[in-house]
Each structure stands twice: as structure tokens, then as C-alpha cells.
């Protein structure tokens, strides 16, 4: 169970390892980001993709005719540019942002609840968000503005659920066990409400399913930017709580005796994860397994110090989502599958692998 | 900030309740700087509750807890951490964190929000590990080391907190004898050399006596004893608070007192054997006067104790033949303090006390004096005796004492039969009923 | 160690970034990222307003180009209307399921594919995911969509890439005529639209006349079960508020599921047996044929089955609110329910 004795260790040795882990993960992610725009439902030669990217980045100064020599679709070179720049690249950025947000949230919740099976949707956020979208769809709220209202209602639905949990966290029912149960109960309740709503509107269920399965595409750059901004700010604050989260693992009492106000920290972390998760999925829908698996990957490499696990989970989550997208495109060329299906498809066996091959003494990895 | 004149820990009329149950009742305590105070008491007496209140983990029903002059509940969590460090009874870490990092967690209260650890913090951690003798194990995981080493690592973590007050909750309960000594020695060093004020809940009275400056005994949430080990440790205390019959000895090397436990005060058991199910019947006699009573009681099925008797007394022979516990003194010597202790213990343990018509002289007068000391607590039965000098060789003092006993509720019986009748009649009567 | 000193003093040196500055810096960076990326690289600008502004079935006011000849149609009902209006040549893309998982044939029956001359190269994947890239590759000037696509998604696409989207989803049969008119307006095919409208009106009038006749004579409407799917538990049918129900009513039929609480109920075998409809119409196409229903509960015991009054019709007639529903489906249903009526 425990590792072998390792003898004396120079102070600071472990932060060096942390840095190397994060550097490696960042490098891997960078490779993924560079590689992903080459893949898409429309087949485009890599050279053409590169030329288009450089053309756009240099505001047209480089490669005045980026499509020269390449087969163009009916929409011509402008169409190709739109595909590569507006569709693919923004999808890549969104995947990175959403994956990072989910990884961060999952890691944080695993720490707050001291439960290796926690994921960003543990507190019923996915049910709340789905209910929000269902309200828009079933009651035909704001036709004509639905592309903005749907994500807005999803966000509000998810956040509202998070707030219920938060209120519970601040009350005398704020123990970790009670919160967990509250989240599960809330999730079930909201799912039931959702099912009821959809019984009376089967066409609505089509549209809600769309959101439930998760989709990365068809977003504006400015909407990407909103998600990016929120995830960046909330996510950074989450990372900054890494030390407190590590101390919380010792138990609420011990953490308190060392100076960590366990209840206050828990409330803040729950608020931040709710915001991060809600923002990450408001536009894309529910994407599973990313938040669950990413922190475990980091733990396998670098141990359970949350100062590493959180930023690492962000990097791994981003890479994982990107990889899932790329894999789906490679396995089913010319077809676009809902990303949520693929993350589960890839994530579940991967998670099983992680559990069976545990190496460290960390009980976080043990079933 | 903090008042330099304030004691590190002060409890004022502290009352703590868990629902219906009162865990601490009206406890006053003041711990001066640099003192090593041991909190002792049986399980459930409130030791852990007291420590938790001192840490601000619970809100008292009444009274206050002050750390260096400030109410603990008014301090922020970080401020509390800077003033008081805690070594809990048990800690179950989930991950195999290296000791160096584990100890470093203790620096949290001294770091500001976004700052990582400075080299000074890391040095502090290494120094603390060295202070507990784990410097060469700093890379080992907290789950890989032995229980004793883990406890020392936790102590080291408490050290790097640099708090002037250190609370330990049964730090030795999971340690073997060697580690117990080791840990407490180090803690005492801390207290002596660095001026750390230590409050340690210790279940082992002897360890407490050996290492601490002062012992406070809790029983059912109340403070029942407070003083130096020599002042506090006594057979009577052990019997009264712990229900254990023991012998008090002195450590030949250090002079510290220690208790040799023998067995429990005979536990409550259904009739027969004990009076009202609460304990044996104690017979005070001498010169053969107690023997008939001892034998009759034993035959009736009661368990008996006897004392204080001198070695040559025939009553002692009777008692020993019945297997009774006794308090014994050497012949012709007045009752020494240890024997009086023992007698007190036996009297306290008894459910009924019978004063046989023995001749009272200066050397066994203290028997009656000790009986007076347990007035009101047990059934007291005096065998009638004629007034007169045939038995009172204390210049009337014994007669006075007996009168006093009578006045305070002792009951007179004529002889063995009346005694047995009375005891039998008392069976089934509510123990709380007045005796006379 | 300063253990005797007043608590609260900490001797370690500080390497701090005050939290407030950190957060402010982050917000600034994020803001710059958002504004910079979105603003600087958005080369498209706003699209020129089209000369025609129409109001679609969801009440959206859309500015469309005049007589566009690169149109993507998302929904067989719209394709039907376009074909009848002689606008097939304007259509360059149609909705499909994922290419490697069914493609065209999941949305369009083989008859439709043949009749409308649809090819896989026209495929635009809308299910299970919306293929933005594919749609961009085709480069339409106008998209006509039914609500088989997530409204939010198609509106998002429209906003991002400045391609107008007109949503055609009639709420009732009357809406079919409105849509024909709308298409006529957009594509300047007024006369063709009028012709079709006249045909539709004629058909509807004929059905209305039949109904007036029956009610006048006091003849009860024949009871009917129209089912589009059967399983071991029963038969899926059309309830109130569906086009199927409207069609049955127009055809002077009395659907046994007319009073259901939900719009697409499943009736159990017992329920059908109890109602014992005179006619049964089962939907065909997309892999469904008679044998898909004969295994349903009590099938052989229904009176309609035994009397030879169980007939298969194209299931599209009951689901797609388009001209075919009225011009072909309605007469077909009337022929089944009222044999002998001209």
C-alpha cells in the first residue's frame, strides 16, 4: 500500500517535479492545439490549413492567395477560410477552454468532497442546466434570440442549482456528507422535472438531447471569448486555492487547526466551480468524463498535491477534450459525432485502466 | 494585539453540552506560560471536549475560552492557528505525502494568500523534523512510517506552526512504551527549553506524573483535582474517580509519585455479595471486635473489606482468611499517610460501613476520623457500645467522634443479627432514600 | 523559533503578489483577449441587407436575398414544396444523418431521393451533430429549415456566418399554404405558388364537402387507428395537436386516439381491441412495412384486420406538413375510409 522508504530529501525537491509535470502537460497541449485544426469534417490538405492560418494571423499580409492549388468547395476560398478560421479554430479554442474548465471543476470537487468519483456535475449542475434549456425549448421562449437565450437559461439553471447547494453549505447542514447527498437528491429531482416537461413536448426532447450530448461547434468568436474569460478568471482563482484544498484533505478539524477556515473555503470553492462549470457547458452542453478523469491522470503522475492537480487537471482536461474531438474525426471521417458520446467512450475504459493500475498509496486512486 | 500578561489559556466557567448531555460543567482553568499541564480523567470525562473548546471547534453553552487574552471564538481561524497548535489523537491521512511536505503544511498560518513557501519555511520544516528525530526520513511518506514516527511528524508539524501554546490529545494512545517515553520527553524539552505552554490530555496518570508540571483531573465534566503530581496523585483519587484500587508508590529515581493499580473497585453486581449492588461492606474493627461481624457478613453473602488494622491483629487474620481487602499498618505505630490513603479508598468504595465495638486508642483513632471523612456518602452503621472508659483510650475523643457520627446520620445496631436484618431490609429500598 | 514572542509575528520573508492586483490583471487580460480576438479578426463585417424581408413561421423577420439559387433545405417537407414549385434547381444541399451512419436515406425515402434527384454530395449533416464545416463548404445564400434542427443552433450559425435562415414549420395544415406563399415571394414564382395553392384549396374543399355530406346524412365517421410504429406493448399513434390527427379529421375519420392526453400516445393491444376501429392504417417507408405491424398485440384479432380493412400508406403523409400531405395523403386516406366516394 505505502511506498518504500525514501530517506532524506532536499527541501524543494518536490516543487521541481511539479514544475516539470506542468511543463510537460503544457507542451502536450500545445502539440494538440497545433495539430487539431488539421482535422475536420471537410477534408482540407494540411498545407492549405497552414497557409490559411498564417494568412489570417498576419491580417492578409502573408499568402495573399492561401487556397492556391488546393481543391476548393462550392463556396470557394472564402468558404475554406471560414471553415478553418471561424469554424475549426474557434472550435479548438472552445475545446481547450471547456476542457480546462471541466478539469478544474472536477479536480476541485474531488478535493472538497474528498471523493475520487466526484465530477463537475455532482451537484446537479447538469440537470439544472438541462432544465434551463428545456424551459427555453418547451415554452418557446424568445424565438429569434434562442441562440443567446438557450445558453443563458442553461447557465442560470446550472448556477441556480449550484446556489441551492451553496446555501446548504453555509447552513448547519454544511458537512461534506450532507452536501453530497443534497447534490444527488437535487440532481434526481431536476431530472424528474425535466422528464415530465418533455413528456408533453416530444419535439422538445430532440432539441434538449442535442444539448445533453454535448457539441463543440457553431459558436461565435465573441462567445468563445466569454467562455474563455469566465473560465480563465474563475479557474485561476480555483488554482490559487490549491494549498487550502491540499490541507482540507487532512480533515476539516486538522485543516482548521492549521489555519484554514474549512467552511468558508468550501463555500468559495463551490461557488467558483459552479460558475466555471456553468460557463463551460452553457454553450456546449453536458460533456462527461472530462472532469472526472483529468485530475486522476495528474495524480498518477505527480501525486495528490492540489497545487499541481488543479492546473494539471486543466491542462489534461483541455487536451483530453481536444483529443476526443480529433479521435472522433479520425475514426468517423466526414462525420461529426456529439462530443459527449466520445468523451464517455474514451473516458470510461481509460478510467478503468487508471483504477486497476494504481501504483501509489493514494487512496484517491483506490476503488 | 495580545496582552503579554494574559495566560496562554484561560477557561472561565466553561460549560459545554452535546444535545442533552453536559460534557463540561463550569470549568475554570488558567494555564500560565511555559507550564506543562496534563489533563487526566477517565474516558468521557471531558478532556477532548476541553481541548476542542480551546481550539474553537465548538461553541460553549456558557463561559468563555481565552487564548492570550482573546476569546477564541472571536479570533479568525488563522489567528487561532498562530496561537495554538494541535496534535490530535489520531489522524488518518489519505495520501502518502512525504514527511517534509506534511510538516510544511503547518506553515500555512504564516503564509499570505498567493505566496509559495520561502526557503526559510522549508528550513523551519527541516529543523522541526530534526527536533523530533526524523530528519533522515523527510522523504518517506506519511503512510509509510510507523505509528510512532507519524505521531512525531504531526508533532513536528505543530512545531512549525510556531504557536506558543501546544495542545495534545492523547498523543501516546497508539504508541508503544518506548515511543510514549520518547514523545513526552521531547514535548517536555520543548516546554522547558522553548517556553512552549503545553496542555496534554493523557490517560496514563503515571506518565502524566512523570512528565508534567501540573495535573488537572476531570471527572464527568467537572474539575475534581488540580495541582502538582505529588499533590494530585492518590489512592483515594484513583478509587473515587476511576474506580480503581491501587497502591501509591514513589519513583526511587525521580521521587515522582506513581500508582500501581490492582483491580477495579468491586463493580456493581446483583445481590448477593454487595449491599444494594453498589459495593462491599467495610468493617472497622480491631482487637477481635470485628471478626464476628466479618464472618457473619461473609456468610450472609456480602463481600467484605476491613481496616485499618495492625499486622498482629486477629481481625486481620479473619479478614485475610475471608479474602477481604485490607488496610494494614505495622503494630504500635500510628496510621501512616499511605495507610490512611488506602483506608480512605476502601471506605469510598464501600457501600456500607460497620464500626465494630473495638477499643480505640491514639494509634487507631484515625480510623474514626477517616470515617467522618466519608460522612453522608455511604450507609454508616455503628454497633452500640456502652459509654465508658472500657474502650475509649483517647481521652474522650473517640466518644466525641462517635457522637458526631451519630448526629450526622449514622445508625446504631445492637449486634450481628440486627445488623444483618437492617442490611437485608435496606435491600430493595431505593438507594437514594435517607438512611436514618 | 520565536515561541516566546507574541503570537501573530511571522519572521519569514514575503514574496507576495497582492491578490487584488492579480485578479485585476487577470480580468484585464481576459477582456483584452475577448475584445481583441473577436474584434480584430472578424473580417466578415455585416452582410448586405437583402431586398426582401419576410416573416417566417416562428415570427422571425428575416432579410433574404432575391431569388437565391444556392439554397440549403433542411427538412423533407420543405423539399416537397420546393419541388412542386419547380425550384429543385435552386437547392444545393439537404439535411442528412451522419454520412457514415445512414446519410441521406435516414431522412429521405428512396422514392423521395429518386423523385427529387438527391445525391450524397448534397448532404449536410444535421444529426446527431450539426456540421458547421460541411454547411460552410456548400456556401448557401439562404437556408430553409424545419424544426428538425435545434433552433438555437441554426440561429447561432446564421448570426455567426451572416447567412439568412428562414424557419418553415407550419403549426397547422393552413400553415402549409402560408409557406407556399412565402416561398413564392422569396423566389418570385408567384404564379406557380398560386397554382399549388389552388390545388390545395380544391383538395381541402373536396374533403370539406364530403364531411358536410356525411354530417348532413347523420352518418357517423368511421373509426380508425392510424399507427406509425408497433412493438410488443402496443401501437404508436397520433393524438391531439398532431398533423396526423388533423389529417384524420379532415378525411372525416374518427381516430380512436383523438382524446389522448399526450400527442404521440402508445395504445396498448387491449385498448385497440376495446375500441375496435373499423379501419387500420399503418405507416410504411423507412424500413417499415406490413410485417412490422403484424407482430403487434392482438393484430389478427382486430375486426379491421379480419375484414381486410388494414391498409398501409406512406408514413410521410401523416408527419410532414407539406403539399404532399394534402395533395396525396388526404385523398389516399379518404379513399381508405370512404370507399366508393368519388
- B38-52, B93-107, B257-271 — which is least confidently predicted? B257-271
Structure ipTM:
0.80
Is C14's pLDDT higher than 70? no
C155–A147 C-beta distance less than 8 A = yes
Please, are residues C312 and C238 in contact by the beta-carbon 8 Å criterion? no
How would residue C17 be classed by pLDDT, with cut points 50, 70 and 90?
A: very low
How would residue C11 be classed by pLDDT, with cut points 50, 70 and 90?
A: very low
Average of per-residue pLDDT across A242-260: 92
Nearest-CA neighbor of B221 among B25, B40, B61, B62? B25
Query: Mean pLDDT, chain C, as a whole number?
Result: 82
Instruction: Give C152's contacts in chain A (Cβ within 8 Å).
Output: 136, 146-147, 149-151, 207
How would residue B70 be classed by pLDDT, with cut points 50, 70 and 90?
A: very high
Is C24's pLDDT higher than 70? no
Residue C106's pLDDT is 77
Instruction: Give B92's contacts in chain A (Cβ within 8 Å).
Output: 251
Is A290's pLDDT higher than 80? yes
How would residue C29 be classed by pLDDT, with cut points 50, 70 and 90?
A: low
d(CA B121, CA B107): 7
Nearest-CA neighbor of C255 among C289, C284, C281, C293? C281
Share of chain C above pLDDT 90, in %: 30
Please give the CATH topology (third level) of the domain spanning B281-426. Answer: Rossmann fold (3.40.50)
Pairing of strands B379-383, B411-413: parallel
Average of per-residue pLDDT across B383-407: 82
Average of per-residue pLDDT across B247-267: 82
Pairing of strands C71-74, B411-413: unpaired
A217–C131 C-beta distance less than 8 A = yes
Average of per-residue pLDDT across B141-168: 90
Count of C-beta atoms within a 10 Å radius of residue C74: 26
Interchain contact A16–B (C-beta under 8 A) = no
The set of chains that have 3 or more CB pairs under 8 A with B is A, C
Compare CB distances from C16 to B114, B124, B159 and report the shortest one's residue: B114
Pairing of strands B70-71, C279-284: unpaired
Residue A291's pLDDT is 92
Helices within C91-189 (DSSP H only) = 104-107, 110-116, 132-138, 151-161, 174-187
Cell readout for B147 is 505509528
Residue B298's pLDDT is 83
Cα A350 versus chain centre, distance: 17
Residue B173's pLDDT is 82
Q: How far does C26 lie from chain A, in Å, by closest CA?
A: 6
C7–B194 C-beta distance less than 8 A = no
Compare CB distances from A86 to C98, C99, C160 and report the shortest one's residue: C160
Compare CB distances from A215 to C22, C23, C130 and report the shortest one's residue: C130
d(CA A318, CA A101): 8
Nearest-CA neighbor of C85 among C192, C6, C11? C192
Residue C5's pLDDT is 33
d(CA C96, CA C106): 7
Is C20's pLDDT higher than 80? no
Cell readout for B148 is 510512532
DSSP letters, A318-350, are: HHHHHHHHHHHHHHSTT----HHHHHHHHHHHH
DSSP letters, C21-36, are: HHHHHHHHHHHHHHHI
Residue A294's pLDDT is 94
Instruction: Give C137's contacts in chain A (Cβ within 8 Å).
Output: 42, 73-75, 79-80, 83
Residue C320's pLDDT is 83
Q: CB-based contacts of A177: which residues, under 8 Å, 6+ apart? A: none
Count of C-beta atoms within a 10 Å radius of residue A193: 15
Stronger pLDDT, A13 or C182, i.e. the higher one: C182
Residue A213's pLDDT is 77
Query: Mean pLDDT, chain A, as a whole number?
Result: 83
C7–B163 C-beta distance less than 8 A = yes
- A231-235, A328-332, B388-392 — which is least confidently predicted? B388-392
Share of chain A above pLDDT 90, in %: 20
Residue B196's pLDDT is 92
Is B317's pLDDT higher than 70? yes
d(CA B185, CA C50): 91
- A300-314, B388-402, C170-184, C256-270 — which is least confidently predicted? B388-402
Kindly report, residue by residue over A74-88, the tens digit of the pLDDT.
Answer: 888 888 888 888 888
d(CA B87, CA A194): 50
B113–C16 C-beta distance less than 8 A = yes
Nearest-CA neighbor of C92 among A75, B308, A3, B79? A75
d(CA B120, CA C14): 10
Q: How far does A5 lie from chain B, in Å, by closest CA?
A: 5
Mutation target to probe the C interface, by most C beta carbons within 10 A, among A147, A212, A230, A232 is A147
Kindly report, residue by residue over C126-137, the tens digit of the pLDDT.
Answer: 877 888 888 998
Buried b (16+ CB within 10 A) or exposed e, B143-172: bbbeebbbbbbbbbbbbbbbbbbbbbbbbb
A146–C151 C-beta distance less than 8 A = yes
Is A71's pLDDT higher than 70? yes
Helices B365-373 and B397-407 pack at an angle, to 10 degrees, of 20
Is A309's pLDDT higher than 60? yes
Q: CB-based contacts of B421: which residues, under 8 Å, 6+ apart? A: none
Instruction: Give C17's contacts in chain B (Cβ within 8 Å).
Output: 114
Instruction: Give C170's contacts in chain A (Cβ within 8 Å).
Output: none
C14–B120 C-beta distance less than 8 A = no
Cell readout for A65 is 492567395
Residue B5's pLDDT is 80
- B66-75, B85-94, B308-317, C106-115 — which is least confidently predicted? C106-115
End-to-end CA distance of chain A: 13
Number of B–C residue contacts, CB under 8 Å: 61
Average of per-residue pLDDT across B82-93: 90
Pairing of strands B70-71, B62-67: antiparallel
Name the DSSP class of C278. S
Q: CB-based contacts of B313: which residues, under 8 Å, 6+ apart? A: B286, B287, B288
Is C42's pLDDT higher than 60? no
B110–C19 C-beta distance less than 8 A = no
Asked if the bond preceding C128 is cis, omega within 30° of 0, the reply is yes
Please, are residues B98 and A303 in contact by the beta-carbon 8 Å criterion? no
How would residue B274 be classed by pLDDT, with cut points 50, 70 and 90?
A: very low
Count of C-beta atoms within a 10 Å radius of residue A110: 28
Highest average pLDDT, of B2-6, B67-71, B299-303, B346-350, comes from B67-71
Average of per-residue pLDDT across C265-280: 90
Residue B389's pLDDT is 67
Is C143's pLDDT higher than 90? yes
Q: How far does C5 lie from chain B, in Å, by closest CA?
A: 8
Q: How far does B123 lie from chain A, in Å, by closest CA?
A: 8
Interchain contact C17–B (C-beta under 8 A) = yes
Cell readout for B388 is 465508658
Q: How far does C129 lie from chain A, in Å, by closest CA?
A: 6
The set of chains that have 3 or more CB pairs under 8 A with C is A, B
A 258-317 residues with CB below 8 A of B?
Answer: 258-261, 264, 303-305
Residue B433's pLDDT is 32
Angstrom distances, CA of residue B38 to CA of B105, B170, B236: 27, 10, 19
How would residue A67 be classed by pLDDT, with cut points 50, 70 and 90?
A: confident
Kindly report, residue by residue over A167-190, the tens digit of the pLDDT.
Answer: 877 776 667 778 888 888 888 999
How would residue C223 be classed by pLDDT, with cut points 50, 70 and 90?
A: very high
Q: Domains of chain B: which residue ranges?
A: 9-233, 281-426
In this structure, CATH architecture of domain B9-233: 3-Layer(aba) Sandwich (3.40)
How would residue A4 be classed by pLDDT, with cut points 50, 70 and 90?
A: low
Kindly report, residue by residue over A211-231, the tens digit of the pLDDT.
Answer: 777 777 767 777 888 888 888
Residue B216's pLDDT is 95
Is C329's pLDDT higher than 70? yes
Please give the CATH topology (third level) of the domain spanning A46-356. Answer: ABC transporter involved in vitamin B12 uptake, BtuC (1.10.3470)
Cell readout for A96 is 481547450
Q: How far does A94 lie from chain C, in Å, by closest CA?
A: 13
Q: Yes or no: is domain C221-337 CATH 3.30.2130.10?
A: no
Is A316's pLDDT higher than 90? yes
Q: Answer whether B9-233 and B281-426 agree in fold.
A: yes
Residue A171's pLDDT is 75
Highest average pLDDT, of A147-151, A161-165, A217-221, B225-229, comes from B225-229
- A257-261, B305-309, C109-113 — which is least confidently predicted? C109-113
Residues in chain C: 342
A224–C137 C-beta distance less than 8 A = no
Interchain contact C8–B (C-beta under 8 A) = yes
For chain B, the residues whose C-beta falls within 8 A of a C-beta of chain C are: 1-2, 4, 33, 68, 79, 82-83, 107, 110-116, 118, 120-121, 124, 127, 159, 162-164, 194-196
Q: Domains of chain A: which residue ranges?
A: 46-356
Kindly report, residue by residue over A111-145, the tens digit of the pLDDT.
Answer: 998 888 888 887 788 888 888 888 888 887 777 67
Phi/psi at C313 (nearest 5 deg)? -130, 160
Phi/psi at A94 (nearest 5 deg)? -65, -45
Average of per-residue pLDDT across B173-182: 85
Cell readout for C247 is 389529417
Count how many Cα atoms sit within 13 Å of the Cα of residue A103 in the half-sphere of its side chain: 34
Average of per-residue pLDDT across B54-81: 93
Is B435's pLDDT higher than 50? no
d(CA A46, CA A323): 18
Candidate CATH numbers 3.40.50.1980, 3.40.50.300, 3.90.1150.10, 3.30.413.10; the one for domain C52-188: 3.40.50.1980
Residue B115's pLDDT is 66
Amino acid at each position: 500500500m505505502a511506498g518504500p522508504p525514501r530517506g532524506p530529501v532536499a527541501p524543494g525537491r518536490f516543487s521541481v517535479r511539479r514544475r516539470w509535470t506542468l511543463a510537460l502537460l503544457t507542451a502536450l497541449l500545445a502539440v494538440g492545439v497545433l495539430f487539431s485544426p488539421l482535422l475536420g469534417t471537410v477534408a482540407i490538405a494540411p498545407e492549405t490549413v497552414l497557409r490559411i492560418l498564417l494568412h489570417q494571423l498576419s491580417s492578409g499580409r502573408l499568402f495573399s492567395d492561401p487556397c492556391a492549388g488546393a481543391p476548393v468547395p462550392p463556396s470557394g476560398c472564402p468558404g475554406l477560410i471560414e471553415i478553418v478560421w471561424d469554424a475549426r479554430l474557434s472550435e479548438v479554442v472552445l475545446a481547450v477552454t471547456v476542457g480546462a474548465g471541466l478539469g478544474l471543476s472536477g479536480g476541485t470537487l474531488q478535493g472538497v468532497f474528498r471523493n475520487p468519483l466526484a465530477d463537475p456535475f455532482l451537484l446537479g449542475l447538469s440537470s439544472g442546466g438541462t432544465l434551463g434549456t428545456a424551459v427555453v425549448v418547451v415554452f418557446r421562449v424568445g424565438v429569434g434570440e434562442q441562440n443567446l437565450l438557450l445558453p443563458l437559461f442553461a447557465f442560470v439553471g446550472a448556477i441556480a442549482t449550484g446556489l441551492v447547494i451553496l446555501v446548504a453549505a453555509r447552513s448547519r447542514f454544511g458537512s461534506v456528507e450532507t452536501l453530497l447527498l443534497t447534490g444527488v437528491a437535487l440532481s434526481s429531482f431536476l431530472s424528474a422535472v425535466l422528464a415530465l416537461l418533455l413528456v408533453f413536448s416530444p419535439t422538445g426532447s430532440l432539441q434538449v438531447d442535442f444539448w445533453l450530448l454535448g457539441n463543440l461547434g457553431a459558436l461565435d468568436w465573441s462567445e468563445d471569448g466569454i467562455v474563455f474569460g469566465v473560465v480563465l478568471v474563475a479557474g485561476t482563482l480555483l488554482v490559487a486555492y490549491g494549498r487550502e484544498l491540499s490541507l482540507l484533505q487532512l480533515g476539516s478539524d486538522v485543516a482548521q487547526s492549521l489555519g484554514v477556515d474549512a467552511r468558508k473555503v468550501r463555500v468559495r470553492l463551490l461557488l467558483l466551480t459552479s460558475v466555471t462549470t456553468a460557463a463551460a457547458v452553457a454553450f456546449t452542453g453536458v460533456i462527461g468524463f472530462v472532469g472526472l478523469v483529468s485530475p486522476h491522470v495528474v495524480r498518477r503522475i505527480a501525486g495528490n498535491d492540489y497545487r499541481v492537480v488543479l492546473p494539471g487537471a486543466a491542462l489534461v482536461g483541455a487536451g483530453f477534450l481536444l483529443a476526443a474531438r480529433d479521435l472522433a474525426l479520425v475514426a468517423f471521417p466526414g462525420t461529426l459525432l456529439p462530443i459527449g458520446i466520445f468523451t464517455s467512450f474514451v473516458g470510461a475504459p481509460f478510467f478503468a485502466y487508471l483504477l486497476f493500475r494504481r501504483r501509489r498509496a493514494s487512496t484517491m486512486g483506490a476503488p | 494585539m495580545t496582552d503579554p500578561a494574559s495566560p496562554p489559556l484561560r477557561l472561565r466557567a466553561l460549560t459545554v453540552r452535546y444535545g442533552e448531555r453536559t460534557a463540561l460543567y463550569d470549568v475554570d482553568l488558567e494555564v500560565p506560560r511555559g507550564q506543562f499541564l496534563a489533563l487526566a480523567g477517565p474516558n468521557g470525562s471531558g478532556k477532548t471536549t476541553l481541548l476542542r473548546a480551546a481550539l474553537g471547534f465548538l461553541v460553549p453553552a456558557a463561559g468563555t475560552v481565552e487564548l492570550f487574552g482573546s476569546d477564541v471564538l472571536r479570533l479568525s481561524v488563522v489567528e487561532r492557528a498562530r496561537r495554538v497548535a494541535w496534535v490530535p489523537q489520531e489522524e488518518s491521512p489519505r495520501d502518502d505525502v512525504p514527511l517534509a511536505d506534511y510538516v510544511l503544511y503547518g506553515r500555512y498560518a504564516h503564509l499570505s494568500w498567493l505566496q509559495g513557501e520561502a526557503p526559510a519555511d522549508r528550513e523551519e520544516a527541516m529543523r522541526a523534523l530534526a527536533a523530533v528525530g526524523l530528519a533522515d526520513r523527510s522523504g518517506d511518506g506519511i503512510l509509510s512510517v510507523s505509528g510512532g514516527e507519524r505521531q512525531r511528524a504531526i508533532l513536528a508539524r505543530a512545531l512549525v506552526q510556531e504557536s506558543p501554546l501546544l495542545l495534545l490529545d492523547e498523543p501516546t494512545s497508539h504508541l508503544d512504551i518506548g515511543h510514549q517515553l520518547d514523545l513526552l520527553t521531547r514535548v517536555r524539552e520543548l516546554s522547558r527549553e522553548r517556553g512552549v505552554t503545553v496542555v496534554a490530555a493523557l490517560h496514563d496518570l503515571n506518565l502524566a506524573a512523570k512528565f508534567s508540571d501540573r495535573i488537572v483531573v476531570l471527572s464527568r465534566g467537572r474539575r475534581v483535582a488540580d495541582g502538582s503530581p505529588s499533590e494530585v496523585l492518590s489512592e483515594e483519587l484513583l478509587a473515587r474517580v476511576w474506580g480503581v484500587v491501587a497502591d501509591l508508590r514513589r519513583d526511587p529515581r525521580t521521587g515522582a509519585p506513581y500508582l500501581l493499580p490492582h483491580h477495579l473497585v468491586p463493580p456493581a453486581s446483583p445481590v448477593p455479595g454487595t449491599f444494594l449492588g453498589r459495593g462491599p461492606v467495610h468493617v472497622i474493627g480491631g482487637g477481635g471486635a470485628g471478626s464476628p461481624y466479618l464472618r457473619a457478613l461473609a456468610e450472609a453473602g456480602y463481600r467484605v473489606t476491613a481496616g485499618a488494622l495492625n499486622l498482629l491483629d486477629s481481625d486481620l487474620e479473619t479478614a485475610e482468611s475471608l479474602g477481604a481487602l485490607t488496610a494494614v499498618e505495622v503494630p504500635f505505630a500510628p496510621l501512616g499517610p499511605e495507610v490512611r490513603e488506602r483506608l480512605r479508598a476502601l471506605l469510598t468504595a464501600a457501600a456500607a460501613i460497620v464500626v465494630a465495638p473495638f477499643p480505640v486508642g491514639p494509634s487507631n483513632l484515625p480510623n474514626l476520623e477517616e470515617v467522618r471523612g466519608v460522612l453522608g456518602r455511604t450507609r454508616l452503621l455503628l454497633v452500640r457500645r456502652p459509654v465508658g472508659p472500657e474502650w475509649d483510650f483517647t481521652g474522650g475523643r473517640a466518644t466525641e467522634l462517635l457522637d458526631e457520627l451519630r448526629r450526622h446520620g449514622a445508625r446504631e445496631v445492637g449486634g450481628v443479627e440486627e445488623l444483618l436484618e437492617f442490611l437485608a431490609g435496606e435491600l430493595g429500598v431505593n438507594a437514594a432514600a435517607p438512611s436514618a | 523559533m520565536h515561541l516566546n514572542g507574541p503570537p501573530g509575528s511571522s519572521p519569514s520573508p514575503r514574496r507576495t503578489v497582492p491578490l487584488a492586483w492579480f485578479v485585476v490583471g487577470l480580468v484585464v487580460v481576459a477582456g483584452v483577449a475577448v475584445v481583441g480576438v473577436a474584434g480584430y479578426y472578424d473580417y466578415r463585417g455585416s452582410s448586405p441587407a437583402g431586398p426582401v424581408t419576410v416573416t417566417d413561421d416562428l415570427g422571425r423577420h428575416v432579410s433574404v436575398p432575391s431569388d437565391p439559387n444556392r439554397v440549403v433545405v433542411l427538412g423533407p417537407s420543405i423539399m416537397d414544396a420546393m419541388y412542386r414549385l419547380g425550384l429543385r434547381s435552386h437547392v444545393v444541399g439537404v439535411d442528412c444523418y451522419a454520412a457514415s451512419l445512414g446519410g441521406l436515406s435516414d431522412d429521405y425515402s428512396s422514392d423521395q431521393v429518386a423523385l427529387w434527384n438527391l445525391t450524397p454530395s448534397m448532404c449536410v449533416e444535421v444529426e446527431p451533430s450539426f456540421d458547421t464545416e460541411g454547411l460552410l463548404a456548400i456556401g448557401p445564400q439562404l437556408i430553409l429549415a424545419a424544426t428538425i434542427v435545434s433552433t438555437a443552433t441554426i440561429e447561432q450559425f446564421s448570426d455567426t456566418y451572416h447567412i439568412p435562415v428562414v424557419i418553415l414549420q407550419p403549426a397547422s395544415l393552413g400553415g402549409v399554404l402560408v409557406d407556399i406563399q412565402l416561398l413564392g415571394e422569396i423566389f418570385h414564382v408567384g404564379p406557380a405558388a398560386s397554382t399549388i395553392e389552388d390545388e390545395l384549396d380544391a383538395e381541402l374543399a373536396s374533403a370539406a364537402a364530403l364531411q358536410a355530406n356525411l354530417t348532413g346524412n347523420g352518418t357517423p365517421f368511421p373509426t380508425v387507428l392510424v399507427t406509425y410504429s408497433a412493438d410488443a406493448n402496443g401501437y404508436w399513434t397520433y393524438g391531439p395537436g398532431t398533423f396526423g390527427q388533423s389529417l384524420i379529421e379532415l378525411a372525416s375519420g374518427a381516430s380512436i386516439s383523438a382524446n389522448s392526453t399526450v400527442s404521440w400516445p402508445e395504445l396498448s393491444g387491449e385498448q385497440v381491441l376495446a375500441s375496435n376501429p373499423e379501419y387500420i392504417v399503418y405507416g410504411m417507408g423507412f424500413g417499415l412495412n406490413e410485417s412490422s405491424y403484424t407482430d403487434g398485440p392482438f393484430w389478427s384479432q382486430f375486426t379491421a384486420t379480419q375484414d381486410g380493412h388494414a391498409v398501409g400508406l406512406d408514413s410521410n403523409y401523416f408527419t410532414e406538413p407539406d403539399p404532399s400531405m394534402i395533395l396525396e395523403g388526404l385523398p389516399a386516406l379518404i379513399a381508405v375510409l370512404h370507399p366508393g366516394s368519388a
